[in-house]
Amino acid sequence: MRLSDRCYAVTGLAYKFPSVLNAGFIVGDRETLIVDTGANAMAAATIHGYATPVRESNALRVINTEKHFDHIGGNGFFRELEVPIYGHSGIQRTPAEFLEERATFHPAFHYATMPVNPEHGFVDEFSFDLGGCNVEVLLTPGHTDTNVSVWVPEDRVLYVGDCLTNQFAPNLDAADGLSSWQEWLKSLDRIEVLQPEVVVCGHGPVEFGADVLTLMDRVRKVLLQRVTAALAITTAEPEDIDS
């Protein structure tokens, strides 16, 4: 799906319902940046197949928006092609973790899929110059401590990973509890001030225009409820908990 001059989304990549994943790519004059690689080698091949023909002369780069396997599972496909892979330094998945993930699927799902971490780790924000197109990488932790968003200011398109999910409840249980949810709320404030025109969530339909704010409000409300409930428990007197 073409979203703007430079930006594309690849939606509906196979995963277990309701976690169907979205990826995307941004096409500069010299380089194309792929955002997330899907859960497996087939998803990665699909993304590669859409991204490459748009500007065949472009070099490719990959960035992962977080550490969960639905976003990095296709990294091995791109490593084989010697495409550089970027991601938060906290993305350090082990072969044992991948085996555990793989055991929950039919073997066909992970055919030719190899677990690969990004080799270009970072802990600070930075930008890519894709040639006539500047792309900012923003730290938006909360869902995990490795979550980043990819912002294309010129086109006002934001790839937000699982900082936002659309038509699915955000996965709060993957976070580390109260402090992570509070971080997540700060991340929502951060992306809201950007006033994106288009948001590509990790899961669920791409959102446009005024509906972007509605989506952010919906996720914020869920987080606030959870934070309020957690704070009520931590500040309650022991007898309150018993009653």
Binding positions for Zn ion, rule: CB under 5 A: 70, 162, 202
**Nearest distance in Å: CB 109, Zn ion:** 15
Pairing type for strands 134-139 and 120-122 reads: unpaired
Distance, CA of 52 to CA of 186 (rounded, Å): 35
Distance, CA of 50 to CA of 7 (rounded, Å): 12
The burial class, CB within 10 Å (0-12 / 13-18 / 19+), for 30 is middle
Question: Please, which residue, 173 or 239, has the CB nearer to Zn ion?
Answer: 173
Q: Which residue has the tokens 């509890």?
A: 177
**Nearest distance in Å: CB 160, Zn ion:** 11
Question: Please, which residue, 48 or 203, has the CB nearer to Zn ion?
Answer: 203
Distance, CA of 238 to CA of 65 (rounded, Å): 40
Q: Is 150 left (phi over 0), alpha (psi -120 to 50) or beta?
A: beta
**Nearest distance in Å: CB 166, Zn ion:** 12
Amino acid at 177: G
Question: Please, which residue, 70 or 207, has the CB nearer to Zn ion?
Answer: 70
**Nearest distance in Å: CB 239, Zn ion:** 41
Question: Please, which residue, 48 or 68, has the CB nearer to Zn ion?
Answer: 68
Q: 74 with 49: CB under 8 angstroms?
A: no
**Nearest distance in Å: CB 233, Zn ion:** 27
Question: Please, which residue, 13 or 152, has the CB nearer to Zn ion?
Answer: 13
